[in-house]
Structure 1
């Protein structure tokens, strides 16, 4: 028997705000909301930003892609090392004065050291040949836009986050948001299954590269600093999963941090879907967290000519140098564009097997019957797209057709494009969609690209797509690509519906979404995501009307508790789960028999003796 992995909770934070309650999605379709929903969304964002009485314009300008704020670094005075040469020769020696304690351990043979006057605290260094010195300097960043968390929102200020890299702070808040959105106490969920039936799959692509992670450790020597005892451990790209296990869930279940470049969220989702579908796990918390808005990371992507520079944006806009481009429109998927825009995000979903969801009365926001991953084969360039994405898209659409039929695929489906906003992507990805549409007889296929609003968050990018898709299921409005005036002339769009205005599909016409992701190195992934309306019919057919009636009775309590959490979060009271040092396991009380292992603090034992399907031994 295959169990359907249901999405029973979701949460996180990106440039549009909080994901739970569809806050971030509603920020993207702000122009299409009713007056009441618009006011609620802006008020909630204002609370998140710490400016509850701010005018609408402040909230609007402080969200989505925009010029990098001073809370990260000054884009016109970004720190940089500058190598300088001091001239000298045997006939014309040179010198400088330095604190004696700052002299290097090994004095170069060409240096002569003498104390300054009678003070041994300072020394004069005289040298007779050219010397190169490294100075701390400042420079103007060529890329000045990014998808930043809402202005004023500091994730580390909401819990005891000392020494935590920003990406891990966002993991704690994002996973907490998802778990609390479920509306069922986590302890109740954990007590319902074996501890080994719970899993966490989460990671980051770039690791934790700020000063509290690998960035601080790798640069310590050159900055004349000491590496700390925490930087290496906290820099690891598996830490988002480890932090969730250790401080949010207290889980002893399965765990992993799967990475696949920009398809990382879907790689982790695939792992969870396969495990739940097989019955091996009953619950999974899945996601990714990334905080890459750092000068060094931007330098790396700029060296690949991957990012939209201010100079190139000015060329697109026909403006002279020396003025500022429209940083709000830096990311332009499927339009005339010049590169992608880096972003930060933390996105999580809680998956649950359909039988357990029925038993507990869990909300259903959607379902993920399959995620497909394929490589590109032989490549000339590791960063160039290839054939693998044709396979993943075709498989995902074929699954949707198998489950829902031809009509749903042709008339009630939509695509969440990778839409990175590069000239190469707009051509290659649109061609894939057009060819798949041709193969399945689809005309006017609605295509969205949320990176227009959020930028490219790397690992969590498909999590951004997921949160937006769940919003489409709830509201029926597909966000338009509003940063473009029109689609580019070179894209393949004869069978696609790519619009710069919100597309009011209607809830009934949003039955299935296809989340597409393309990553460096040939990391292609596409997920098939079903709407809650579709899933409701499936659950009744599979479990029967009597079970559905019992389920609905339990559901009312779940939705009530979830709504209470969302109301608190909308008021700015996030209260993330962070149980540091709580509930530690007394290993002396672990009991092992031939049939089970019992862990103190967990209500059910872990069964032993599974033959893993090898029944012929």
Structure 2
């Protein structure tokens, strides 16, 4: 692969900010997005905290009731096919295009592709199926399918922006958007495309988040300031969040030719499965360790050169410990201790959008010269000892970053980002 993939644009609709400046401030200052949250008016629910997106209201099944910041112009025809998280994605994509100094016309030449990640909209799917079931399927909403199933982002965004390059969706649970980024970088490095748009988006509602309570994966801590605390001895599960993050990935020569801003180079990636359990990670972290090893080999980077690891760590007891074990075997046993943090202490867990969101955080940190700290980490779990977990952000630009993601079934994906300078 003789070509180089670089990140040239970022767009954020998240619990810690709806633009680059707000997100950067939150990451630097440790400002979290958690709050007390009423999912469905049931006081008996043990889950009391979530990390919502502000300034949007997409809680109704009717698009007529939705609202979003006035700076975004979503055409009525496009809105008809969107899910609630599609609104987030549309707005984040508009941001990313502006950030990369691109226009919609630049996307229509067949050399731009679109890779998306989301679980679809269980909220709308349930609503539309209930409507149809009530009338024995004599009628149904004409846009019910394209607005609710897992491919809704790629369907709607490709049609709106007239994208003629490769368009597809990724469904590997919490590893989905990291998979999308890995394969997008290959599209660039293999010379198949000159530009790829990667979108990760999810909704925050009862249908998306609360099923995880039955798996005992959600925090029951009712204090927003401590509910999400990756690597902490008292962590008890993740906090749900929604939103959308978009990254523009381009071939380096194309970006330089149009004087585009370059945040970071996607130097390599790797993936490996645990082959262990449908939901739980291997306790020894072997699958993640293999994915890290493959990513480092692809990027041609020795482990000793990694400055910062953005961990997948969701604040679940078993997940964080398994990841710490993998990191110790890669780094500590070789005598190297890179800075490690999980930004989910600030944002909560965005499920399939998490990898895109956190890769964008890494690119932003690399560009602006800081390393995020570990919010809410007060008492390090002895199972995670031996690594460097700073509590506060560090005013230093990382040169080479490892980004980890893991999903159901032991799907592990890792990216290596390098400074473009």
Q: Normalising by structure 1, report the TM-score.
A: 0.61
Which of the residues 91, 94, 108 maps onto 1:176?
A: 94
> Which residue of structure 1 aligns with residue 162 of structure 2?
250
> How far apart, CA to CA, are the structure 2 residues paired with 1:390 and 1:199?
31
SS in structure 2 of the partner of residue 326 of structure 1:
coil
1:238 to 134, 151, 175: 151
Name the residue aligned to 1:203. 117
Residues 534-613 of structure 1 aligned to structure 2 (within 5 Å): none
Which residue does 1:589 correspond to in 2? none
How far apart, in 2, do the equivalents of 1:153 and 1:64 lie?
A: 16
Give the equivalent residue in structure 1 for 2:360: 467
Determine which of 66, 70, 87 is the counterpart of 2:35: 66
TM-score (norm 2): 0.88
Greater shift, 328-337 or 479-488, is seen at 479-488
Q: Give the equivalent residue in structure 2 for 1:24.
A: 23
1:384 and 2:280 correspond: yes
1:156, 1:166 within 8 Å by CA — same for their partners in 2?
Answer: no
| Structure-2 separation of matches of 1:143 and 1:457 | 16
Q: 1:239 to 1:450 in 2, by over 3 A?
A: same
User: Residue by residue, what CA displacement relative to the aligned partner does 1:367-396 show, whole Å, maximum 9, x if unpaired?
Assistant: 11222121112x2x3111133211111222
Partner-residue secondary structure (3-state), 2:270 = strand
Alignment of 1:69-88 (within 5 A): 73=39, 77-78=41-42
| Aligned with 2:400 (options 494, 498, 512) | 512
Instruction: Work out which of the two has the higher radius of gyration on C-alpha atoms and give 1 or 2.
Output: 1
- Is 1:503 the counterpart of 2:417? The answer is no
Q: Deviations over 1:192-229 (max 9, x none)?
A: xxx3321110121x21122xx21212333677797422
The answer on whether the counterparts of 2:56 and 2:67 sit within 8 Å (CA) in structure 1 is no
The residue correspondences of 1:324-343 to structure 2 (distance < 5 A) are: 325-335=222-232, 336-343=234-241
Contact kept? 1:447, 1:497, Cα under 8 Å: yes
Q: Please, which runs of 5 or more residues in structure 1 have no aligned partner?
A: 32-59, 79-138, 314-324, 534-617
Any conservation in 1 of the 2:51–2:240 contact (CA below 8 Å)?
A: yes
**Relative contact order, CA 8 A, sep 6+: which one is greater?**
2
Deviations 1:435-491, CA, capped at 9 Å, x for gaps: 00045x343320110110100010110112112112221232222112121211222
How is 1:286-297 mapped onto 2 (pairs within 5 angstroms)? 286-291=198-203, 293-297=204-208
Q: 2:142 aligns with which of 215, 229, 233?
A: 229
Q: How many residues align structurally?
A: 401
Is residue 351 of structure 1 aligned with residue 269 of structure 2? no
Q: Is the 8 A contact 1:366 1:470 kept in 2?
A: yes
Residue 352 of structure 1: how far off its partner (Å): 0.9
The Cα shift of 1:294 comes to: 2.1
* 2:187 equivalent in structure 1: 275
Match of 2:176 among 256, 264, 272: 264
Q: CA RMSD in A?
A: 2.3
Map 1:60-459 → 2, pairs under 5 A: 64-68=33-37, 73=39, 77-78=41-42, 140-150=44-54, 156-157=67-68, 158=72, 159=74, 160=76, 161-162=79-80, 164-187=82-105, 189-190=106-107, 195-204=109-118, 206-210=119-123, 213-220=124-131, 227-247=140-160, 249-291=161-203, 293-309=204-220, 313=221, 325-335=222-232, 336-377=234-275, 379=276, 381-386=277-282, 387-400=286-299, 402-403=300-301, 409-410=303-304, 413-438=307-332, 441-459=334-352
Q: Which residue of 1 aligns with 2:62?
A: none
| Structure 2 CA distance for aligned equivalents of residues 294 and 173 of structure 1 | 19
> Do structure 1's residue 11 and structure 2's residue 11 form an aligned pair?
yes
Rounded Cα–Cα distance in structure 2 between residues aligned with 1:417 and 1:410: 17
For residues 339-377 of structure 1, the C-alpha deviation after alignment (integer angstroms, 9 at most, x for no partner) is 111110211111111121122221111111222121112
Matched position secondary structure for 2:141: coil
Matched residues in 1 for 2:9 and 2:55: separation?
Answer: 26
Unpaired segments ≥5 residues, structure 2: 59-65
Return the offset for 1:190: 4.4
Counterpart Cα distance in 2 of 1:151 and 1:223: 34
Equivalent positions of 1:471-482 (< 5 A) are 471-482=364-375
In structure 2, relative to structure 1, the CA distance for the partners of 1:162 and 1:186 (3 Å cut) is closer
